[in-house]
Amino acid sequence: MSFPHPQLPIELISDYLTVVRLAKSMQDILAKRVRVNRLMTKGLGHSGFSGFGPAGIELLVSGPKNSWKEIIENLATDNFPSWREHFQQTGKRLPDELRRDAEVRLNSHTERLKLAASFLQWLNGSTEPTSVEEVAKRLDAVIELTLFVLREFLLREYNLEKHD
């Protein structure tokens, strides 16, 4: 996997995420009133999404959002390859006999490490075992959320489209 938005350079996305992290409101972002150090602020010390507006913000987040949905579906396929066919036939993603196995498997340390490795691949980072272990520790909350969503997606009626 590659970084989720091929139209925007990673440095620009990083700058925008810094602005979002430091902003107090959407209005501050759009009016370029976010106090930021060391970004392209033209010496004013304030930044925002110049020329971006709401449509541009949607463009910025659409790549990661769509990538997130794709990752969840791919993780479901990796764990249970026939979930799509079963869903079309029954309206449930997994048969009852696989649900308990899914619950146990998706709570395992091995699954956390696989997810950490996929994040590293997504960012073109090293997937050496020590790097994977370190990322698994540092991204514990992200991994827990991802596994929660995956469990809800497979075991219940979680709809990725309704939870943008």
The domains of the chain are located at 1-51, 64-164
How far apart are the C-alpha atoms of 151 and 155, rounded to whole Å? 6
Contact yes or no for 115/142 (Cβ under 8 A): no
The sign of the torsion formed by the CA atoms of 35, 55, 68, 97 equals positive
Looking at residue 101, its pLDDT comes to: 85
Residue 61 pLDDT > 70: no
pLDDT-derived band at 52, boundaries 50, 70, 90: low
Looking at residue 70, its pLDDT comes to: 83
Residue 71 pLDDT > 70: yes
Looking at residue 59, its pLDDT comes to: 63
pTM equals: 0.61
Contact yes or no for 111/147 (Cβ under 8 A): yes
